[in-house]
A and B are shown apart, each in its own frame.
Chain A
Amino acid sequence: MTPRDQFPLPEPGIDALVRAQLDAEASRVDPAAVSARVFARLETDVPSSHRGSTRRRLGVVAGFMALAVALLVGVFVLGPSREAVATPVQVVESARAAYVPDADRCYSQTLQLPTNTPAPLALVLDSGRTVSLCTRGDRFVVEPGLGGRGAWGSDGKGRVWIAPTRDAAARFDETELPPAVRDVVRIRGLEIGTLLDEVLKDYDLAWAEEPVREAPTFAVVATRRNAPIPGQIRSADLVVEKDTRMIRSLVLKRQLISGDIATVTFTLTVATARDARAYTAEGHIDAGRPVFDSTRPILRRKILLQNLGDVLVNGL
C-alpha cells in the first residue's frame, strides 16, 4: 500500500476545503521529531510479561549473585554507566526512519584531500577549508564556493550551478560536467537518505564507542563489506543524536581514482527553513543577471575559466 492510498482524496466541495485545511496544518508538522521520540521510547520499553519473568529470574539467582551485584554497583560508581540499548544497525535504521527528505539542514563541511594532490587542484577544491553546506533532499548549496568565492550547488533537477560572483552564474546538466567537477559534486554533496540506505545495505556496522547512558549521542562506524571502487565511500563514522535520531556528524572516507582517500567531515549546525531559491543559481546572483547554460556554452566556459582557472575545466 502506497502512502497516498492511506488518505484517498476527498470529494469536491466541503470535504475538499476541510482536507486542504488539515493538509496545511499537516505541512507544519515535523514527523521526524515525533517518530524519533516514539521509536526511542520503544527501544527502552520492556514488555510487562518480560518484566515479570525477569523479576522471577533475578529472585532465583539473587542469593548466588549478591557479591557480583555489589561489585557491579562499585563499577557504576567508579565509572560511566553502561547503557543497554539498541544495536548499531537499529540506531542507523531509526536515523533513516527519522530522516525527513524535504527538511533544510546545514552543516559545516571540511574536505581533506590526500597530501599528494596537486596544489592548484587542492586550492580550487578548498581542501582543508571549512565551508557551509545546506541541503534539502538532493538539493544542496555550498558557501563559499569553489576557490573560496561565491557559491555553488545542485538544484535537485540533475543540474549543478556555480556562481563565483553575483554578476553571472554557470549551470550544467550533470552529464555535461567536466570529470573533475563531477567528482567534486559527488564528494561534497550529501543526501542523507540515500547514504543511510547504502550504509544499511552494503556496510558492516559497529559501535565506534560503547554507548554511555549520560551521553546524548550514539557513535557508529560503518565499513563497506566489499572493496570500494573509485568514488565510493570506504567507511563512514556517524554520530546520531539519541532523542531526535538526527545525524549530528559524519566523517566519510571516499576512494579516489588514484587509490588514495578523500575525507569529508560534516557537522550539523542548524536545521531551519531556507528559501528554495538558495538552492538555485538565481538565488546567488543579482536580479536580472544571467545564468549561462548549454545554450550559451562559450560564455559559460568563460565564467569557469575566469574564476577557477583551467584546473577544473581542462583537468590536469
Chain B
Amino acid sequence: MLTDDQRTRLGIWARDVTPRAVAFARSLVRTPEKADDIVQECLFRLLRRANDYDLERDGVKLLFKAISNLAINQATRERELVGLGNSRDEEDKPLDITDRVTLRPDQIAQQRELEERVQAALQKLPPMQRAAVELRALGLSKEDIAESLGITPTNAGVLVFRGRKHLTEELRTVLDGKNSEEST
C-alpha cells in the first residue's frame, strides 16, 4: 500500500514520464490503443511494487524495460498481420492539443511533414534497432538501453550504431537541410 506522500510523489512521476512512455510504445506497436494499454499495464505493475524500487531514480529505466518487453513481443506477433484499416488515418489521429498558435501555417505543415518522415524512417527499422535508437534519443545510457532490452551493452551499442546509420541514409536530405541552415 502506498503512503499518502508516496502517492503524491509517484503521481507526479507517473504524469511526467507517461507521455514519452506512450510515444515510445506507439512507435513499437501497430495500434495506438494497444500501446496505451501496454503503458498502463507496465505503470500499474511498477507502482504496485513501488516499495521495492526507487522509481523516482530508476523508474524510467524500469518502465521502458517493461514496455520494450511487452511492445517488442507484441510487434513481433503483429508483423505478419495485415490490418483492415490504417489506424493512423488522418481522422483517427488523436486530438492535437499542441499550442501551434505561434507557428505560421506553412511552418506547421513543414513540421508535420518532418515528423511523418522521421516516423516512416523509424518504422523501417527492425523493432530492436528502433527501440535502441529511440531510447538513446530519450537520453538513456548504453547500459540502461542494454538493461531495457535485455542485451549486453556491446550489443546495445551495435544496435544504436546500425539504427542511426539506417536513419541517416533515409533522412539524408533532412539532415543536409538542417546543416546548411545552421551554417548560414
Contact = CB atoms under 8 A, between A and B. Distances in A.
Name B's interface SS: helix
Interface size class of A (residues with CB under 8 A): 35 or more
From B36, B93, B122, B138, residue with most partner A Cβ within 10 Å? B138
A26 interface: yes
B115 interface: yes
B134 to A, nearest CB: 6
A31 B14 contact: yes
A96 interface: yes
Interface string A89-100: 110011011101
Interface string A227-245: 0000000000000000000
Interface residues of B, number: 55
A269 B1 CA distance: 34
Contact of B137 (A6, A10, A97): A10
B20 A14 contact: no
From A16, A17, A27, A275, residue with most partner B Cβ within 10 Å? A17
B111 to A, nearest CB: 8
Name A's interface SS: helix
B175 A13 contact: yes
B146 to A, nearest CB: 17
Nearest to A41: B44
A100 B15 contact: yes
A22 B24 contact: yes
Interface stretch (A32-40, A54-62, A147-155, A256-264): A32-40
A23 B23 CA distance: 7
B99 interface: yes
A276 B115 contact: no
B7 A39 contact: yes
Interface of B: 2, 4, 7-8, 11-12, 14-20, 22-24, 26-27, 36, 39-40, 43-44, 47-48, 56-57, 59-60, 93-99, 101, 111, 114-115, 118-119, 122, 133-134, 136-139, 164, 167-168, 171, 174-175
23 contacts: A3-B16, A8-B139, A13-B175, A17-B114, A18-B133, A19-B137, A20-B114, A21-B114, A21-B115, A22-B138, A25-B23, A25-B26, A25-B115, A29-B18, A34-B14, A34-B22, A34-B43, A35-B14, A35-B15, A35-B18, A45-B44, A47-B48, A103-B97
Given A7-B139, A34-B22, A38-B43, 4 more contacts: A22-B24, A28-B98, A272-B95, A273-B97
